């Protein structure tokens, strides 16, 4: 990953940030900074990945996939977890 000092906000990315802000905010009048929203989203992504790795050998693959599959994390039948973003 390269480090950048700016973040281009496409329409789709802005929509995702707006939705994530609603989740992170303490109420309708709370407007958390973008850094807090991004930290929460990244933490959730890392924890989701760790949880998936932890349970994928203890439960049937289809059950894990049905429960944990998102557009970011996917489970291939007992082989690997992969990112679909890039």
Q: What is the pTM of this model?
A: 0.71
Residue 26 in tokens: 């303490």
pLDDT digits (tens, 9 = 90+) for 12-56: 999 999 999 999 999 989 999 999 999 999 999 888 888 888 887
Residues in a beta bridge with 81: 75
Alpha-carbon torsion angle 59, 60, 66, 69, nearest 10: 70
| Residue 75 C-beta-side C-alpha neighbours within 13 Å | 23
Q: CA torsion sign, 43 to 45 to 58 to 69? A: positive
What does the alpha-carbon distance between residue 30 and residue 34 come to, in Å, rounded to a whole number? 12
């Amino acid at each position: 990953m390269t480090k950048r000092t700016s973040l281009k906000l496409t329409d789709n990315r802005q929509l995702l940030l707006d939705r994530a802000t609603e989740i992170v905010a303490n109420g309708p009048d709370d407007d958390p900074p973008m850094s807090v929203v991004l930290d929460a989203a990244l933490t959730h992504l890392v924890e989701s990945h760790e949880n998936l790795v932890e349970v994928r050998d203890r439960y049937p693959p289809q059950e894990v996939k049905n429960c944990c599959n998102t557009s970011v994390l996917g489970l291939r039948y007992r082989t690997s977890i992969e990112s679909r973003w890039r």
